[in-house]
Structure 1
Amino acid sequence: MTTPDREAAARTSPDDAGPWLVALDIDGTLVTYDEELRDATRDAVAAVRAAGHHVVLASGRSLIAMTPLAAELKIDDGWIVASNGAVVARLDPGAPEGYELEHVATFDPGPALRLLREELPDARYAVEDVGIGFRLTEHFPDGELQGQHEIVDFEELWSADVTRVVVRAPGSSSEDFHRMAEAVGLEDVTYAVGWSAWMDIAPMGVTKASGLERVREELGVSPRRTMAVGDGANDIDMLRWAARGVAMGHSSEQVRDAADEVTGGIDDEGVVRVLRELLDTRP
C-alpha cells in the first residue's frame, strides 16, 4: 500500500494549487459489467468537471469504443487515453471525428503473435486499426470489440505495425494466460491479462500511466494533483503513477496492493464516493 515516498509525493504544497487530473478506468469502475452507467456516476463526473478538474477516461478499450461513453458523460473536450496508453487523443467537437490524435504508439506484433500461436493455436487473435476497428482471425464474442471487423489470415495480422494485439481464448482462464505468458517469455512488449481469458499486448513501456503522463505534461498539472481510479491488472501502473491511486473494492489483491486506498466496489458505486470526496477537498 502507501509507502513513505508516496505519502510525501501526495502532500499538496502551496505551489500545487489548481485543478486535479482525475484518471478514470471505464469497465468495472465507471460502467458495470452489464454496461450500465448509473445516474450517480454520471452526476459525480459532471460535478467534478464543473468544479474545474480534468477528467480523463483511461481504458483498455479502443478509441472508437470510448468516445460514445464520453458523449454520454457530456465530455466533448479534454483528453482520452485509449488502448492501454497506446493512443492519446484530444476531444474536439470541431474535428471531423470529434477528436484529434495526439500520440499513437505502434510496434511489430509478429514475434509475439508467433510465440503465442504456438501455445494457443485455437485462440482468437486481433490487431487494432485506430479509429476504424480490428483485423481478426475469427469473430470475438458479441460486444467485446467495437468498430469494423475484417477477418484475415493469421499472417496478415503483422502486415503493418499496430497499437495493440488482443488474444482471446474463451475456453481458458485468466490464470492460464498468466502461466502461458510467463512460460513463453514475451519480450519487447507490454502485456496485461484481463478478468477473462483475454490478453492485451502493447508496445514496450506503453501503459495507461505512460499515456496519462503525456496528458499531465500537456495540461501542466502538478504530479501531486493526480488521482486515478481503477479495478484491473491493466490499471496497476496507473494507480502507482497517481499521487492518489484508488482501487475499486472488487479488485484483486494485486491491484489493491498497488493503490494508496480502496473504495467500494462497482455495485456500491465506489467511484462516486471518491469523486465526491475530491469536491470536498480545498484547492
Structure 2
Amino acid sequence: MVLFLSDIDGTLLSAQRTLSPRTIAAIEAVRAAGHHFVLCSSRPPESMRVLERLYGGIGSPLVAFNGGLVLSGDGEVRHDVPIASADARFIADHCEASGLHASFFAGEHWYAWGEDEWTDRERTHTWVFPEPASTLEFVASGGVDVTPPHKVMCMGDPALVDALEAALADRSGVVTYRSKDTYLEIANAACSKGTGLLAVADLLGVAREDLYYFGDNFNDLPAFEVVGHPIAVANARPEALAVVESVIPSNTDDGVAVFLEDWLAGSAG
C-alpha cells in the first residue's frame, strides 16, 4: 500500500483552477487499486473537501494550513499547531493600525477583515465563506484565545505587507511566507508540511519509503525532505526542482495524472 500526497495550488490544479478529468480519473484509479491519495495544502479543510468530492475522496485524512492542522478521515484532529494567541493579537493590532486586511483561519472557521476586495478574492480562490463575525470581532470577543488561528493571511499594498513582515521578524513563534507581493501567509513556526504528512503516514501505517509527495514551492521543501519519493512539477521553483527525485510535467499538463498513470501501469506490470 502506497500513500500519495499532493500540494494543490501550482501542483494539482489545472489552468481552470480545478481538477482536470484526467487527474480525477488517475486519482480514482490509484484509490481503486487500494492506495491512498491525500491533499496537503495551505488551504482550509473545507476548501480541500471541495476537490475531494470530485474524485470521491471524502473520508480521507487532510493536511491543512501547511501542516498546522491534520484531520483524520472522520474529522478527528490528529495534529494541531495553531499560532499563539499573543502573536495573533499582535498581527490584528498591527493590521488595524496600518489598514492591512487580515483573515484568520481557525480550524473550520474563517474570520475575514470585512467585505472588501481581499475577502472576495479569497472566497473565489478557496470556495469557502467567512463567518459572520469579522477578524477584529473574533479577537475582541476572546475567541482568538480559545481557538487561535492556524493561518493568518494578510493582504494589501506591498509596502504595508513589507512593514508587517519586518515587524514579525523578531517574533520567533511565527513564520511568514510571501506567496506574492500583496500576500503574506503567517503560521506557527513549529508547523510544516513535513510534520503534517508524517502524522498522516503514522495514522495510515505507511512507511516513509512508500510516501510519494508532489509539490512546487518553498512550503513543499519540508515535505520533500521526509518522504521516500519527492516529486516536483516542471513549473516548480528552482529550489524545489533541485532537491527532488524526479520531475514530472507541469500542473497545466496534468503532471500528477501522468505520473500516477505510469506508476499504476508499472505496478501492474
Query: Structures share a fold, TM > 0.5?
Result: yes
Structure 2 residue matching 1:258: 3-state secondary structure? coil
Q: 1:164 aligns with which of 150, 167, 179?
A: 150
Q: State the TM-score, normalized to the length of structure 1.
A: 0.78
Q: Is the 8 A contact 2:69 2:150 kept in 1?
A: no
| Structure 1 pair 147–103 and aligned structure 2 pair: CA distance change class (3 A) | farther
The secondary structure found in structure 2 opposite 1:254 is helix
What are the equivalent positions in structure 2 for 1:1-283 lying under 5 Å apart? 19-32=1-14, 34-92=16-74, 99-111=75-87, 114=90, 118=94, 121-131=98-108, 133-139=109-115, 140-142=119-121, 143-145=124-126, 146-149=128-131, 150-153=133-136, 156=140, 158-172=144-158, 180=165, 184-195=169-180, 197-282=182-267
Q: CA deviation at 1:116?
A: 8.4
Superposed displacement of residue 225, structure 1: 0.8
What amino acid is aligned across from residue 204 of structure 1 in structure 2?
A
The amino acid that maps onto 1:38 is: S
5+ long unaligned stretches in structure 1:
1-18, 93-98
Tell me the distance in 1 between the aligned counterparts of 2:69 and 2:85: 16
| Contact kept in structure 2, 1:194 and 1:232, CA below 8 Å | no
Are the equivalent residues in 1 in contact too, given 2:81–2:150 (CA < 8 A)?
no
SS at match of 1:192: strand
What SS is found at the alignment partner of 2:120?
A: coil
When the two structures are aligned, how many residues end up with a matched partner? Answer: 256
Q: Higher helix proportion, which one?
A: 2
| Equivalent AA in structure 2 for residue 124 of structure 1 | H
* Cα deviation code 1:178-202 (max 9, x no counterpart): 9935983341223333245323222
Q: Is the 8 A contact 1:86 1:163 kept in 2?
A: no
AA of the residue aligned to 1:128: F
Structure-1 separation of matches of 2:4 and 2:163? 30
Helix, strand or coil: the match of 2:256? helix
Whole-Å Cα distance in 2 between the matches of residues 89 and 279 of structure 1? 27
TM-score (norm 2): 0.82
1:261 shift after superposition: 2.3
Q: Which moved more, 1:251-260 or 1:161-170?
A: 161-170
Cα distance change on mapping 1:141 and 1:185 into 2, 3 Å: farther
State which drifts further: 49-58 or 120-129: 120-129
- The gaps in structure 2 that reach 5 residues or longer are none
How far 1:164 sits from its partner (Å)? Answer: 1.9
Counterpart of 1:166 in 2: which secondary structure?
strand
With over 3 angstroms needed to count, the CA separation of the structure-2 counterparts of 1:255 and 1:197, relative to structure 1, is farther
Cα–Cα, structure 1 residues 86 and 200, in superposed 2: closer, same or farther, change >3 Å? same
Q: Residues 220, 281 of structure 1: CA spacing in aligned structure 2 closer, same or farther, 3 A cutoff?
A: farther
AA partner of residue 166 (structure 1): V
From the superposition, tell whether residues 196 and 279 of structure 1 become closer, same or farther in structure 2 (CA, over 3 Å): farther
Which amino acid in the other structure matches residue 82 of structure 2? T
Q: Deviations for 1:205-236, whole angstroms, at most 9, x for unmatched residues?
A: 21111111011112221111111001222212
